Amino acid sequence: MAVNDRILRVNKSLLGGLSASSFLRQHWQKKPLLVRDAIPGFEGVIDFRTMVELAGRDDCESRLLLRSRRRWTVEHGPFARRYLLRLPQRNWTLLVQGANLFLPEARQLLSRFDFIPRSRLDDLMVSYAPPGGGVGPHFDSYDVFLLQGPGRRRWKVGRQDDLTLVEGAPLRILRRFVPQGECVLGPGDLLYLPPGIAHDGVAVDACYTYSVGFRAPSHQELVSQFLVFLEERLKPPGRYQDPDLATQACPARIGSAMIAQVQRALGHIRWNRGDVAEFLGTYLTEPKPQVVFSPPRKPLAPKAFLRSARNRGLELALPAQMLYSGAMLFINGESLAIDAGEARPLRVLADARRLAGSEVPKAGTAAEVLYQWYRSGYILQAIRASAT
């Protein structure tokens, strides 16, 4: 089934009967949406034992939030299993960030939200909380889908004019939260919240919540990172020189000739739309600091790899991020320009995160690229054989 067909089929349930285009037009970054039974019978993709295992890894970002009345404490993982199993019966939350980087089931759950461009996607965070657990009233600067797993959570939601935060708190907790609506989410229910909508979720009973978050970098961050991108590529000619230097009465004054020469040097900074596209591709696919790829211990030779790939198919490694724009392909912060004809199977891999054996090229540049990515641990041979 084509990617777009699959997306359309999933959306009818996930978005409460709305098409993707209707949702984007009516709700995206505009107003919340509550969908009952968005995923009927949803039992989650992770249990507490698995959460504890992930929270104990040093390559997985995790946090523990404990509440005592109006006082909050935040601890950062990795956590010892014994410590987590001895927590009290109320008023705490365990958060595991980027579950999709470790669990195929979590990655598959994220694929239900492919109606939003993957360039906007951040990751899937899973929270577990016993009764009373929550992170306090707050607002996010990005869109979020809150999908309820087993258990129930009560959400209070509202547009907030007063954004004053609790002073000295380890979290960005609103000091005076005035909710305008309330709902209790059960398994399979979904709540979408646009940026800036304040919300407070408290576990009614032991529950899991799956948060699908999206990237919304500030313009300051984009400018800063773009300048770093340019710095690595620009090689302006020349060096500062002043053979006609004249004396000046005030030695601490920066002379106008010096300012003019530096201004001319800075004038060599140029960029175009292609540079911006390449920056975005490398920036948006750059792995998070804790991400580690696992190259094969005994890699196959190129010909053996292609034979196996054409029999079983290929798939992106769970932590791998892949995008494309025009003739450029981007994977894990790297860029690659390739001929349009050769690029087709690689674009299919980027969109579907999987490449059927029949679509694996037998030879050529794309085949060489796939082998390099296999050696780097970016792609894996599919677990199940794919039809050819």
> What are the per-10-residue average pLDDT scores of the chain (388 residues)?
43 85 95 96 96 96 90 93 95 97 96 95 96 91 96 94 81 86 96 94 97 95 95 86 92 94 90 95 95 94 96 96 95 94 94 96 95 97 57
Over residues 357-385, the pLDDT tens digits come to 999 999 999 999 999 999 999 999 986 54
For residue 66, give both structure tokens. 């404990």
Alpha-carbon distance 106 to 126, whole Å? 9
Over residues 22-74, the pLDDT tens digits come to 999 999 999 999 999 999 999 999 999 999 999 999 999 999 999 887 788 99
**Predicted pLDDT of residue 3:** 41
Alpha-carbon distance 268 to 66, whole Å? 53
Alpha-carbon distance 305 to 367, whole Å? 10
Global pTM value: 0.89
Alpha-carbon distance 223 to 265, whole Å? 20
Half-sphere exposure of 330 (CA within 13 A, CB side): 19
For residue 74, give both structure tokens. 């935040």
Give me the amino acid identity at 352.
A
277 Cβ contact list (under 8 Å, min separation 6): 325, 326, 328
3-state secondary structure 190-213: EEEECCCEEEEEEECCCEEEEEEE
**Predicted pLDDT of residue 12:** 63
Alpha-carbon distance 351 to 315, whole Å? 11
Sign of the alpha-carbon dihedral angle for 256, 260, 263, 265: negative
**Predicted pLDDT of residue 11:** 55
